[in-house]
Amino acid sequence: MKNKQTALLLILGFFSTSLIAQDLSYSKPGNRFYPELTNPAKANAAEWAKIDMPVNVSFASDNIRYAKEKVPLSSVQDLWEAKAWKGERVHTQILVWTGKDIPELSFQVKDLSGKKGNRIEAENITAAFVRYTMADDFGEGCGARDLSVDDSSLVEDPIDIIDKIPVEANTVRPIWLSVQVPGNTPAGQYRGTIIINADKKHELKISLNILDHVLPPPSEWSYDFDIWQYPGPIARMHDVELWSEEHYKLMRPYFTTLAKAGQKVISANIIEQPWGLDHVHFDDPTLIKWTLKKDGSWEYDFSVFDRYISFVMDCGITERINCYSMITWDLSFIYYDEASKKNNSITLTPGTDEYTKYWSGMIKEFTLHLKEKGWFTKTAIAVDERPVEHMQALIALVKDIDPDWKIALAGDSYHPEIEEDIYDYCLASYLKFDDDVLIRRRAEGKPTTFYTACVEEYPTGYTFSPPAENVFLAWHAAAKGLTGYLFWAFNTWVPNPLQDARWHRYPAGTLFQFYPGPRTSIRFEKLVEGIQDFEKIRILREEFSKNGNEKGLLEIDNALSLIKIEELDKVPATEMVEKAKKILNQF
């Protein structure tokens, strides 16, 4: 027990010393600019000497991460042509590469104009600088890695919140351009420009064809998007007290952004460090305080749980609550001991009398409390990658208390013997459900999804991964008949993620898809792109089925047949996705 308490102190102590050693003031909303780390790769002066103009500005692929030190393109493209549905968010990338210093790079977006005075106003158009963070490569996957070895590089990923930036000679500065098409926009062609202020004003042209299809708001999307949220790192990174008013204020833009991406599930810790003491690198507080009273009785305080769940629902994430976890990875469970006035932990194995006694009292009270709040029917006891015999014991325990309890499982093995007891069942990307099981689960309305972690080399959203791999994830779900995707880490930040995304245990970026600030990322934007494609596929299929459009259904099937997860070692996700999207965008 003492060793486990020491381990927790070491986890928290690591972050304390890391934060003291580094200036993270830029993570706060009012302090915006920060320097990038020194590029380990050097620019080729001879290559840069050959560029036609001192400063070049061009549209470029949003599926490529362009190196900071390399001349990115051989020619300039000053027109972006794209198609979009009403209600869809579309994006592209602009590159500025320069042979001389630019003291201040900025931009100016303008309205897009259509026929009959129709407009997409500039407030729906966002431009932002893409920044470079340090990354490594896949290496040993989940295995330990030596960050001192020479396998690191600067990669573009964070999308910043500043409106001007200096650019050094012989470097590249990407700009991310997004257009959120209002749902009531009349169909037709819309044209406009974006001005890039560098050595002079560079004008790039935009031509957006709005199709006569409507993508509903994210609250109506069917895709089961579940990326786990963590309130603790937000308080830590912004240096505010956990559960303070300031903490809740800072959390809101993170979670409203998730809601706008179609997030369906609230991640809710019901015990301290629900993955155990040794499995994670960060402070992961409980929403329910467990207190062992001096007289040996237990007290469960649900006040933080109630406020937090209500808060996240108010941010727009309302469908489900997944509670972690009745089975930690090391089977240790932390509680507050009133007699010693400190946290203690106990090790318990599911199925034993001691485990059942420990959890039964809390689950009984929790069940009644959830029913009083009106949340019971949308709440599940959630578990990650635990043995089937432990799952069977847990299922028996909670179902004995109330047979209507829902169970959620993210599994790295498929267990058909408990499948019918699992409401929200998610399998690792290298596993599959039997076809008849998948059909039945969808008919029953059960979330049936897949996940990626640090095991897969692809597809997954590492900082260095091709951006299209995050689009591929939703296409894979559509191709396999799954209802969505789970990822374990929205914001389990390493100490200095904006400058250095690496971690000594996993490939860079495994621990987060979003950045402090809040700042979005290329990876997160591409996740949303894929989710929108999933919804478009669903809507078109429903329309074609209703209208008897067999040709249209066949074309969609042809597009999905191009998505083959087992061939990603030979065919890049970018190639598969771009071919499939070309078919989808013809409708």
Q: What would the mean pLDDT of 111-121 be, rounded to a whole number?
A: 96
pLDDT at residue 257, as a whole number: 98
> How much is the average pLDDT of 507-518?
96
- Of 14-28, 39-53, 415-429, the poorest mean pLDDT is in 14-28
Per residue in 332-346, pLDDT (tens digit) is 999 999 999 999 999
Determine which of 10-19, 155-164, 172-181 has the lowest per-residue pLDDT on average: 10-19
Percentage of residues of the chain with pLDDT beyond 90: 90
Residues 316-335: tens digit of each pLDDT: 999 999 999 999 999 999 99
pLDDT at site 168 = 97
Q: Tell which residue, 330, 361, 324, 360, has the closest CA to residue 345.
A: 330
Spatial CA neighbour of 496 closest among 147, 241, 138:
147
Span 463-467, average pLDDT = 97
Give the mean pLDDT of 222-245: 97
Specify the pTM: 0.94
Say which amino acid occupies 105.
L
Gap between the Cα atoms of 138 and 569, Å rounded: 13
- The amino acid occupying position 280 is V
Average pLDDT, integer, range 489-497: 95
Instruction: Identify the pLDDT of residue 1.
Output: 35
**pLDDT given for residue 15 in this prediction:** 31
The pLDDT score that the predictor gives to residue 30 is 44
Q: Is residue 18 pLDDT above 50, yes or no?
A: no
> What pLDDT does residue 558 have?
98
Q: Residue 147: what pLDDT?
A: 84
303-314 and 245-260 helices cross at what angle (nearest 10)?
A: 40
Q: What is the DSSP letter of 198?
A: S
Q: What is the mean pLDDT of residues 41-50?
A: 96
Q: Residue 359: is its pLDDT beyond 70?
A: yes
Compute the residue count for the chain: 587
Burial tier of 21 (Cβ tally within 10 Å: 0-12, 13-18, 19+): exposed
pLDDT at 22 over 60: no
pLDDT band at 277 (very low <50, low <70, confident <90, very high): low
Model confidence at 279, pLDDT cuts 50, 70, 90, reads low
In terms of DSSP bridges, do strands 165-167 and 102-109 run parallel, antiparallel, or are they unpaired?
antiparallel
The model's confidence at residue 280, banded by pLDDT at 50, 70 and 90, is low
The CA radius of gyration of the chain, in Å to the nearest whole number, is 25
pLDDT for res 12 = 34
> What average pLDDT does this structure show over 21-29?
45
- For residue 282, name the pLDDT band (cuts at 50, 70, 90): confident
- Residue 367 or 12, more confident: 367
What is residue 278's predicted lDDT score, i.e. its pLDDT?
63
What is the structure's pLDDT at 29? 44
Report whether pLDDT(23) > 50. no
Degrees (nearest 5) of the Cα angle 201, 203, 208? Answer: 155
Which domains, and CATH codes, for the chain?
32-214 (2.60.40.10), 218-584 (3.20.20)
Q: Tell me the pLDDT band of 237, cut-offs 50, 70 and 90.
A: very high
Q: Tens digit of pLDDT for each residue in 423-443? A: 999 999 999 999 999 999 999
Confidence of residue 283 (pLDDT cuts 50, 70, 90): confident
Token pair of 22, please? 């580094």
With a cut of 70, say whether residue 26 has pLDDT above it: no
pLDDT for 263 equals: 98
Identify the CA nearest to 344 among candidates 290, 409, 283: 290
pLDDT of residue 534: 98
Mean pLDDT of 502-516: 94
Q: Which residues contact 194 (CB under 8 A, 6 or more apart)?
A: 94, 107, 108, 109, 110, 125, 127, 177, 203, 204, 206
pLDDT band at 9; cut points 50, 70, 90: very low
Q: How many CA atoms lie within 13 A of 207 on its CB side?
A: 5
CA–chain centroid gap for 128, Å, is 19
CB 467 within 8 A of CB 523: yes
**Percentage, residues of the chain above pLDDT 70:** 94
Token pair of 188 as six digits = 């037709």
CB of 413 closer than 8 Å to CB of 388: yes
* Calculated CA dihedral for residues 409, 410, 411, 415, nearest 10 degrees: 30
Alpha-carbon span 77 to 90, nearest angstrom = 18
| 57 vs 204: CA distance, rounded Å | 8
Element of type H or E holding 196: strand 188-197
pLDDT at 146: 85
